Chains A and B, each alone.
Chain A
Amino acid sequence: MGEGKKDLISINDLTKSDIYYFIETAKEFKKISLKDIKKVPTLRGKTVVNLFYEPSTRTRSSFEIAQKRLSADSLNISIPQSSVTKGESLKDTILNLESMKPDAFVIRHHESGAPYFISKITKASTINAGDGINEHPTQCLLDIMTIMEEKKDIASLKVAIIGDIYHSRVARSDIYGLSKLGAEIYLYGPYSLLPQFQYSQNVKIASSMEEAVKNADVIIMLRIQKERASYYFIPSIEEYRNFFKLTQNLLSLASKDVMVLHPGPVNRDVEIAGSIINENKTHILKQVENGVAVRMACLYILLGVQKN
């Protein structure tokens, strides 16, 4: 890690070797979760504030467990987003919490750039747990970890990312992280949900579901939200499933030992056929397991940075 990097805001801020360092560290932490006493005293006396402006079950519990296993003290604050009543400003909230001397903020926010904003006003480490449609760096790291457990080298892989790319912070972080490690990425979805501008040379737009999944080593399916229909991004969930669902047939076009990932929560039989999940052809639960380890690694690495 570069000197003094106290925050994890964007995958773009990490070098290739930073990413590997996170993954290597996470591998060690994964072992702690397999012990009888799933706890080490490493972060004893450290206070971590989990500040969630958006509902989240998975990410939030994953971070919480990670903190508990490292013996950190957690403070959980949910501030449900409301466009009608505007309470305290984000800055004031952070400054007030800052006075209680936390060592880290874990932020989930509905606005892109909120964790970046927070990292500029606090001395504590800031970890982005998902901001708007921008990024979800720990999800990217756990995806990379999950892939590396089976594929060893990311560089030559064909990775298909399918669904609502435009609104997906997971997709964006995965695109940055996986392309940095040299994967060849194919994006697919309706054009209304695809990025408008090119990311980099090794990120391509597929012209069909078939092209996207054909010989793919990894398929990352994204969650489609029902609300997208009301802003005309898609006509309806019913239509979406007819054209953009990963089916058994499509899956058979992929490479023999393809890995199917999904950041969850899954809409069964909307973006992915339920039977694919039931037959254990996905790595969704592995992702969740690795999520705890990756978050432990993040806390360990970032909280260890010497502060001035």
Chain B
Amino acid sequence: MVSSGDFKKLDKILLFDNLATNNILNDFIDSVLKAIETQVRRSSKQQGSTSGFNNTIIIGIKEGGVPLADLIRQSIKSRFKIDCEIGYIDMTLYRDDPFSIKKPIKSTELPFNIENKDVILVDDVISSGRTVRAAIDEIFDFGRPKSIRLAVFIDKGGRELPICPNFIGKKIKAGKDGMIHVDILSKEKRVDKIIKK
């Protein structure tokens, strides 16, 4: 865990400023929406209705995926006038790294049935893929979704598992000890690379 006090000892390098971050973000959401659009069209062709809209669920991985998931949901709502169900997942209890590194547990909030749904799993940064693995495992404890697609804002490489995001905002190379910090909640959005001294 990095507490705010520790930040002072860390090197913080700005990767993308507000403008750049906004651009990546717009492209990223666009790519997700396009995919849903095709999905929606396809399902309405099949069933002759708009039921496909309702079949999509957005799940954000805590904490970084939460604002992104909210953003994607907002965009869907404004473009398709559809209120997707949204949930959040905290995969602490499903981690595979040494258990002794303890993290406080946060709530997983999936207050709906995920059986046969099309899930879009959202996180801010992907590297090894282990977080996503844990999140998928947890989702399956809640039911059997029809599909899961993965949307990640920053892919910093270094995959250790065969996991490939369906949607990526930006690929960068950060190195092993480079931590990526995404901030899209502040007025001035930014992406930083943080290197431990």
Q: Please say whether the chains A and B touch (CB closer than 8 A).
A: yes
Verify B100–A40 contact, CB threshold 8 A: no
The CA-CA distance from A29 to B100 in the complex, in Å, is: 18
With contacts A28-B105, A28-B106 taken as known, whether A304 is within 8 angstroms of B141 at the C-beta atoms is: no
Verify A31–B141 contact, CB threshold 8 A: no
**Tally of A-B Cβ pairs under 8 angstroms:** 44
Tell me whether A152 is interfacial, beta carbon within 8 Å: no
The CA-CA distance from A72 to B2 in the complex, in Å, is: 29
Which of A25, A31, A36, A304 touches B99 (beta carbons < 8 Å)? Answer: A304
- Interface size of A by CB at 8 A reads 24
- A12-69 with Cβ < 8 A to chain B: 21, 24-25, 28-29, 31-32, 35-37, 39-43, 46
Tell me whether A96 is interfacial, beta carbon within 8 Å: no
- B69-112 with Cβ < 8 A to chain A: 92-95, 99-100, 102, 104-108
Tell me whether B137 is interfacial, beta carbon within 8 Å: yes
Verify B99–A303 contact, CB threshold 8 A: yes
Binding site of A, secondary structure by majority: helix, strand, loop or mixed? loop
Tell me whether A305 is interfacial, beta carbon within 8 Å: yes
The CA-CA distance from A41 to B95 in the complex, in Å, is: 8
Tell me whether A120 is interfacial, beta carbon within 8 Å: no
Produce 1/0 per residue, A256-284, CB < 8 A to B.
00000000000000000000000000000
With contacts A28-B106, A31-B107, A36-B142 taken as known, whether A41 is within 8 angstroms of B137 at the C-beta atoms is: yes
With contacts A31-B108, A304-B100 taken as known, whether A39 is within 8 angstroms of B141 at the C-beta atoms is: yes
The CA-CA distance from A28 to B104 in the complex, in Å, is: 10
Tell me whether A82 is interfacial, beta carbon within 8 Å: no
Tell me whether B143 is interfacial, beta carbon within 8 Å: yes
Binding site of B, secondary structure by majority: helix, strand, loop or mixed? loop
Verify B100–A42 contact, CB threshold 8 A: no
Which of B94, B99, B102, B107 touches A40 (beta carbons < 8 Å)? Answer: B94
- Distance from B109 Cβ to chain A, minimum over Cβ atoms (Å): 9
The CA-CA distance from A127 to B141 in the complex, in Å, is: 29
Which of A28, A31, A39, A305 touches B100 (beta carbons < 8 Å)? Answer: A305
- Distance from B191 Cβ to chain A, minimum over Cβ atoms (Å): 30
Which of B102, B106, B142, B143 touches A304 (beta carbons < 8 Å)? Answer: B102
Which of A21, A28, A42, A306 touches B107 (beta carbons < 8 Å)? Answer: A28
Residues of B close to A32: CB separation below 8 A: 93
The CA-CA distance from A28 to B93 in the complex, in Å, is: 10
The chain B residue with its CB closest to the CB of A40 is: B93
With contacts A31-B107, A42-B94 taken as known, whether A36 is within 8 angstroms of B143 at the C-beta atoms is: yes
Verify B100–A306 contact, CB threshold 8 A: yes
Residues of B close to A300: CB separation below 8 A: 93, 105
Verify A301–B142 contact, CB threshold 8 A: no
Verify A41–B93 contact, CB threshold 8 A: yes
The chain B residue with its CB closest to the CB of A37 is: B141
Q: Given A28-B105, A31-B107, list of 9 further CB < 8 A pairs? A: A24-B104, A28-B106, A31-B108, A36-B142, A40-B138, A300-B93, A301-B102, A303-B99, A304-B99
B interface vs A, CB < 8 Å?
92-95, 99-100, 102, 104-108, 137-138, 141-143
10 interchain pairs (CB within 8 A)?
Answer: A36-B143, A37-B141, A41-B94, A42-B92, A42-B94, A70-B93, A301-B102, A305-B100, A305-B102, A307-B100
A interface vs B, CB < 8 Å?
21, 24-25, 28-29, 31-32, 35-37, 39-43, 46, 70, 300-301, 303-307
